[in-house]
Structure 1
């Protein structure tokens, strides 16, 4: 796909917006944010080689995978052949490939193969950022276990992080925060089953729950903002009554619980399961949160890393 209305190499002041050095797009009144983003990516194709593909979080966005809480400045990520011309533009990070790109067309734009996209993202993203992305790629069928296993068997940069994320991934998750809630249970050593279907004694379906605590009458779910809206609230109340009739206790959690008050959540779950309370179980969780884009420090780390690379070429044809 090429941007038919983008202008390259000529200064435009009135009626245009500057995308990068020598790259302009005409203003479009009433355009949605997603539409503008696609126009931007199509315009970037004008300064990329013909064999270039989008990768990293840029390709993840095009695939509509679950993205982490990215910093304000997010460059466009592309990859190209070893011998192609190397564009240098602010806001663009180009990586060199030691192979021919396995190009797929997604929303009219060229992207690298899904395992390669995830591997590229794994070089920058933390565990809490990467696992939901892998979950969504598997859930949509864009990536497969076999493809991930194949790339994780190599010794390329980012493999260790992707291997860990792949081992923790589960395509049954229905949202990024459900994935993060599942990871919290993994860290504090509570076995859960995602998307468990509940039936009454007559075999009638009652509800499908986010996480069933294995072997217990407890279910844990992530309650996003949509649960506060009137239509969804009505459904949730009816569903909750059905679970109560089965003798099942439902507990809902939000992002603030997991990021800022994990000790309180751990205490509640320990009491619920009648097991000894051990705050040391949270050590790895606190480290994962601190490293991720869900902390200020994690977003600054990403921002600084990308700013250092935004005008250069990262050559991944040799070990990092």
Structure 2
């Protein structure tokens, strides 16, 4: 291995090494393929295994670093950085065997937004009846190509899972028709905006621009709520209360339980990560 490689370059060099010693039908799939396709990803463990697909006639391989699925037909592959990689729909189907709906929606939103595949491609994969197809179909029903980041996707799923309708990426204008900005999410039938603020600390120039935008929104009668990642993780009740208050509704524990269930089955949560580590036969972490 060449010295001085950063983490990503070292990982790619390791994949190239594996490709040299595995059978010719071997294809990188699942989360390994999604990383190679440069999609938005849920939080991944440092010791994530490498996911491979092989034709069932290939020699049996057992290595702790690999998770191998065997297929009755040669797995589909495209070339990325001289590696045989599963196309996004096939890799999404492989991911759906393990991941929760929230993780899958983040991957799907990214694939559609970055135009790595079409919705029809993913729907065709979900219609195959292969393992993971049912969960992939469920995630597709929650996906939206208009999302512009993983955390924006999470914010949208949080609302829709709890029965709060939102519209993504809405152009906002003042009473004179002057464009103010584009809102991440607008709570349907209200003037309440729910937005993901990418960082708690912003550059001074950007901060001034955002404050000016907020002032223009307020003059136009809009109420903007900006949320950071830690709040999406830990303050779902607060976020949803802002939406239901705008709708004149009360928020109950029963309303929010669907989101908690989705969240706790995702890699964004500690319980979801622990469950995935067990599924991938990784050692427990304290």
Q: What TM-score results when the alignment is normalised by the length of structure 2?
A: 0.93
- Which residue does 1:261 correspond to in 2? 235
What pairs with 1:218-229 in structure 2 (closer than 5 Å)? 218-225=192-199, 228-229=202-203
Q: Is the 8 A contact 1:56 1:117 kept in 2?
A: yes
- Which residue does 2:23 correspond to in 1? 49
Residues 1:135 and 2:121 are matched in the alignment: no
1:74 is aligned, of 48, 58, 62, to 48
Per-residue deviation, 1:278:
2.3
Q: Is the 8 A contact 1:47 1:87 kept in 2?
A: no
Q: Is the 8 A contact 2:126 2:136 kept in 1?
A: yes
2:278 is aligned, of 304, 307, 310, to 304
Per-residue deviation, 1:227:
5.5
In 2, the alpha carbon distance for the partners of 1:120 and 1:194 equals 28
2:63 is aligned, of 89, 107, 112, to 89
- Which residue does 1:37 correspond to in 2? 11
Q: Is the 8 A contact 2:159 2:240 kept in 1?
A: no
In 2, the alpha carbon distance for the partners of 1:260 and 1:276 equals 20
- Which residue does 1:192 correspond to in 2? 166
What pairs with 1:283-302 in structure 2 (closer than 5 Å)? 283-302=257-276
Per-residue deviation, 1:234:
2.4
1:170 is aligned, of 144, 147, 154, to 144
Q: Deviations over 1:76-135 (max 9, x none)?
A: 111111112233322111211122222111233211122110000011111111101010
Q: Is the 8 A contact 1:71 1:302 kept in 2?
A: no
Q: Is the 8 A contact 2:53 2:70 kept in 1?
A: yes
In 2, the alpha carbon distance for the partners of 1:59 and 1:187 equals 28
Structure 1: give runs of 5+ residues left out of the alignment.
1-24, 309-320
Q: Is the 8 A contact 1:198 1:206 kept in 2?
A: yes
The number of aligned residues is 283
Per-residue deviation, 1:158:
0.7
90-99 or 199-208, larger mean C-alpha shift? 199-208
Tell me, what secondary structure is at the counterpart of 1:132? helix
Structure 2: give runs of 5+ residues left out of the alignment.
none
In 2, the alpha carbon distance for the partners of 1:234 and 1:87 equals 57
253-262 or 125-134, larger mean C-alpha shift? 253-262
* Greater Cα radius of gyration, structure 1 or 2: 1
Point out which structure has higher relative CO (alpha carbons under 8 A, 6+ apart). Answer: 1
